[in-house]
């Protein structure tokens, strides 16, 4: 609830004119309602009772016109509120995107992909629905409801007595019904989350499912998740239906009691027939307003939960591991100096020293778990070593602008990243200037130009998510072309030979040696064949001891 209060406080500070417009609209609607009720009594006490048919018809038309005008005012207010809601939800999403892009790798590795999607898309949409309900239903509706209650009291204090006696009973019933709704809503949200994760798994791992002949297993799992969502949705719907029925029954109890009182007073001559019908009309309006207010409860509850979820990603951004600002003409020379690093309960690197020089191919080898990929992340400034230093051109990383340094580094990951778009868009991704000629040149250097030209549309051919229409080798070459398009001073290739034969390995090494500008090249590989192609070979042992060997004498 605190998050909701802060949300509306922010909205008011962001757009006080919106609340002023809602308040003004409520006042105008109040005026129309007062006028309609006055005409209602006049209609029956004067014109109907005196047989003035034409005047009665015009008066009835006036009542209807006032209600239409009131609804048009409400429509105008909604247009204003929707504009404000659009702005504030866009700000939420912008902030979340900005935060995610600024989070260091150590913070993002623990984030669940499904949860990020939920916070960024669904939760922000739910907050928008809650904001709309509060502004358009509560802020605008409560004053009208209070006016109707005041009008009943004005007619006779006994109407107020009926409300004072029966309203607490109805509110108590409401209070008893709402906790089960909240509990069931929580169960339903958890079921939807589980189904969302299952759907993402299904979309991401169709090949694994086929290769493992796990279609039946996955089908049963998905059907179980779907059934769970359906059951919780049914239970939630029935909880809401019973709560709405209790509210309606309570409202009818109050309306019936007020009408019975009014009928008794009219029979005694204490009030006129017009006043009785006015009271009945007012009760109908009040019942509709209250029902509309209570109908927003699931939306309000969902919005409060969504705000709590958003706040879990909305706090202060964890700083990058390095905060230096010096920008240097980076040549590609990087070094690790007696570096120690590990994850909680898992030491990975101990006393590692390594230098990568411009114009050379340095090969880093070692078994799984020896820390090769971790070393890559350290070189890119994604992690801070627990002791020791990293240097670029002899300067400590702590002095340098890591963003500027990364602009001179390109990485070809072990699993090439290909996204939905054209081949050209995949090559130039992330660069401020789109130079198609330079992209073609990079593709030639990466040995990707020949297969790209054979695609329908060539460089403008469209690939799907993850590039499933391309072979593993083609995706790797495309990823290399993206790296070379940056014209990096340090090029890091993580297992680049997974999809290559021996001849292709030699061709790759030869191509790397002839890259323009002679960048420093670090190749992380298990492939002994590539070791013979490097200038220096470094080996990471499982005990994290580092040995350096010449290309002709490695063990």
Where in the chain are the domains? 2-156+271-311, 334-550
Cβ neighbours of residue 96 closer than 8 Å, sequence gap 6 or more: 119, 120, 124, 310, 313, 314
Token pair in block for residue 198: 């299952």
The phi, psi pair for 463, rounded to 5°, reads -115, 155
Token pair in block for residue 412: 């070809």
Give 53-58 contacts, CB < 8 A, sequence gap 24+: none
Superfamily name and number for 334-550: P-loop containing nucleotide triphosphate hydrolases (3.40.50.300)
Cβ neighbours of residue 476 closer than 8 Å, sequence gap 6 or more: 412, 416, 496, 498, 499, 500
Distance CA 280, CA 292 (A): 18
Strands 490-494 and 409-412: what pairing?
A: parallel
Q: Do domains 2-156+271-311 and 334-550 have the same CATH topology?
A: no
Tens of each residue's pLDDT in the chain, 555 residues: 677 777 777 777 777 888 788 888 888 888 888 888 888 888 888 888 888 888 889 988 998 898 899 888 888 888 888 888 888 888 888 888 887 777 777 777 766 777 777 778 888 888 888 888 888 888 777 777 787 788 777 877 887 788 788 777 777 776 676 677 778 878 888 888 888 888 878 877 776 787 677 888 888 988 999 999 999 989 888 887 877 777 777 777 877 888 888 888 888 888 888 888 777 777 777 777 777 777 787 788 788 888 877 776 665 566 778 888 999 999 999 999 999 998 877 888 888 899 999 999 999 988 887 888 889 999 999 889 999 999 999 999 999 999 899 999 999 988 888 888 899 999 999 887 778 899 999 999 888 999 999 999 999 999 987 777 888 888 888 999 999 998 999 999 888 876 666 676 677 778 888 888 889 999 998 877 777 778 899 888 764 444 443 333 232
Q: Which DSSP symbol is given to 474?
A: H
Whole-prediction pTM? 0.69
Distance CA 402, CA 334 (A): 13
Residue owning tokens 């789109």: 434
Distance CA 363, CA 371 (A): 14
> 357, 142 in Cβ contact below 8 A?
no
Q: Which DSSP symbol is given to 398?
A: G
Distance CA 320, CA 402 (A): 9
Q: What is the tally of helices (H) and strands (E) in the chain?
A: 20, 12
Q: What distance lies between CA 489 and its chain's CA centroid? A: 36
Q: What class has domain 2-156+271-311?
A: mainly alpha
Question: Where on the phi/psi map is residue 141: left (φ > 0), alpha (ψ -120 to 50), or beta?
Answer: alpha
Distance CA 331, CA 188 (A): 56
């Amino acid at each position: 609830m605190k998050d909701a209060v802060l949300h509306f406080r922010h909205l008011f500070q962001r757009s006080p004119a919106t609340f002023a417009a809602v308040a003004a609209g409520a006042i105008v609607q109040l005026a129309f309602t007062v006028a309609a009720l006055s005409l209602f009594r006049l209609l029956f006490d004067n014109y109907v009772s005196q047989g003035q048919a034409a005047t009665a018809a015009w008066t009835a038309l006036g009542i209807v016109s006032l209600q239409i005008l009131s609804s048009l005012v409400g429509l105008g207010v909604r247009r204003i509120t929707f504009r404000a809601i659009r702005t504030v939800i866009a700000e939420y999403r912008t902030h979340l995107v900005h935060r995610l892009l600024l989070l260091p790798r150590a913070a993002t590795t623990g984030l669940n992909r499904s949860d990020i999607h939920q916070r960024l898309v669904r939760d922000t949409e739910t907050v928008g629905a809650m904001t709309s309900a509060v502004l358009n239903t509560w802020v605008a509706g409560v004053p009208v409801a209070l006016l109707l209650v005041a009008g009943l009291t004005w007619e006779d204090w006994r109407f107020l007595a009926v409300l004072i006696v029966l309203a607490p009973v109805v509110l108590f019933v409401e209070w008893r019904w709402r906790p089960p709704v909240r509990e069931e809503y929580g169960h339903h949200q958890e079921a939807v989350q589980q189904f969302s994760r299952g759907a993402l798994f299904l979309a991401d791992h169709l090949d694994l499912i086929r290769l493992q002949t796990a279609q039946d297993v996955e089908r049963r799992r998905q059907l179980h998740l779907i059934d769970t969502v359906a059951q919780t949705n049914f239970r939630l719907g029935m909880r809401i239906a019973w709560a709405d029925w209790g509210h309606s029954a309570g409202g009818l109890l109050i309306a019936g009691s007020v009408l019975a009182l009014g009928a008794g007073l009219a029979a005694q001559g204490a009030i006129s027939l017009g006043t009785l019908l006015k009271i009945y009309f007012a009760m109908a309006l009040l019942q509709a307003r209250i029902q509309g207010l209570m109908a927003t409860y699931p939306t309000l509850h969902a919005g409060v939960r969504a705000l709590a979820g958003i706040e879990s990603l909305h706090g202060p951004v964890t700083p990058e591991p390095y905060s230096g600002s010096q920008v240097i003409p980076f040549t590609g020379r990087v070094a690790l100096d007696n570096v120690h690093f590990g994850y909680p309960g898992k030491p990975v690197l101990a006393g590692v020293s390594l230098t990568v020089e411009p114009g050379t191919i340095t090969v880093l080898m070692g078994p799984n778990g020896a820390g090769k990929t971790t070393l890559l992340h350290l070189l890119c400034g994604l992690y801070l070593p627990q002791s020791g230093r990293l240097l670029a051109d002899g300067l400590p990383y702590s002095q340098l602008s890591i963003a500027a340094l990364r602009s001179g580094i390109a990485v070809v990951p072990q699993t090439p990243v290909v996204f939905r778009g054209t081949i050209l868009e995949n090559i130039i991704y992330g660069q401020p200037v789109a130079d198609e000629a330079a992209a073609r040149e990079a593709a030639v250097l990466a040995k990707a130009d020949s297969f790209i030209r054979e695609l329908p549309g060539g460089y403008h051919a469209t690939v799907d998510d993850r590039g499933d229409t391309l072979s593993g080798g083609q995706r790797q070459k495309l990823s290399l072309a993206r790296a070379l398009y940056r014209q990096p001073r340090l090029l890091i290739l993580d297992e680049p030979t997974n999809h290559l034969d021996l001849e292709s390995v030699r061709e790759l090494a030869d191509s790397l040696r002839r890259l323009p500008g002679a960048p420093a090249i670090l190749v992380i590989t298990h492939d002994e064949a590539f070791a013979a192609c490097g200038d220096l070979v470094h080996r990471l042992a499982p005990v994290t001891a580092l040995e350096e060997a010449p290309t002709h004498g490695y063990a």
